[in-house]
Amino acid sequence: MRIAVFSDIHANLHALQAVWDDLQRQKPDVAYCLGDLVGYGAFPNEVIAFLHERRVPTVMGNYDEGVGFDMNECGCAYTRADDRLRGDLSLRWTQEHTAAEGKAILRSLPVQIRLEERSPKLLLVHGSPRKINEYLYEDRPAATLERIVKLAGTGVLLFGHTHLPYQKWIGSTLLVNVGSVGKPKDGNPQACYALVDLGLRSRVQFRRVPYDIEAAARAVEDSGLPMEFAAQLRSGGVEREEPVETGGKASR
């Protein structure tokens, strides 16, 4: 069985459309989204509608929670005052520009999707099985990842949130961070998603998809959002923010 998994679109409709077109050519059996549909980008309503109309199974991201429930923060804190200011501006702008029906869709998203009817068993989350906004970077201590794997209780754990794609085996469990469709942070500005061929030894292919980055960046600039978000699209987020965990909806 082949599945496509993508995450962290962040209201970048241009990137989402390009990924969807590429995904259709790959002919997976099913596609899943790991959340953060909105934030930072200029097209929150369009991205929500795109996935909702195609009935893509989607988990809630921390930004979806913050916008859907009109919270005072999106589950992130920033180490620099200017990052905090831009983050707050983005959250308020997105809340003000997301329609009521879109917010209702965001509120309805599950915190996780667990698939246990076939082997290997799968768990799909935004941050981690413990917390919607936990950052599972590749260099997390082995003991931490072992605890995460034990909690997941599945053969494959799929997640996003860091915008940095990687795959890693912890014992017999495959961990896959699928990267970001709309706001990469690894220096490659192309959109990213993962194709996973499930089996006794599941295999992962990260696909980088070109899209009209300049059009997406100009849309951000024209929207009234901070200009730095447009620059990050063009650069692939090489000067990435360093958020730390705070608050957030506990997984259940």
**pLDDT by residue (tens digit) across 162-219?**
999 999 999 999 999 999 999 999 999 999 999 999 998 999 999 999 999 999 999 9
Strands 191-197 and 122-125: what pairing?
Answer: unpaired
* Mean predicted confidence (pLDDT) in 218-240: 92
Q: What is the mean pLDDT of the chain?
A: 93
Residue range 49-101, pLDDT digits in tens: 999 999 999 999 999 999 999 998 877 756 778 877 888 899 999 999 999 99
The pLDDT of residue 74 is: 79
Q: Which helix (H) or strand (E) holds 68?
A: helix 62-68
For residue 250, how many C-alpha atoms fall within 13 Å in the half-sphere facing its CB? 1
pTM above threshold 0.75: yes
Please name the fold of domain 2-114+180-245: Purple Acid Phosphatase; chain A, domain 2 (3.60.21)
Helix (H/G/I), strand (E/B), else coil: 96: helix
DSSP 195-243: EEE-STT-EEEEEEE---HHHHHHHHHHHTS-HHHHHHHHHTSSS---E
The first and second tokens of residue 146, run together, are 């072992």
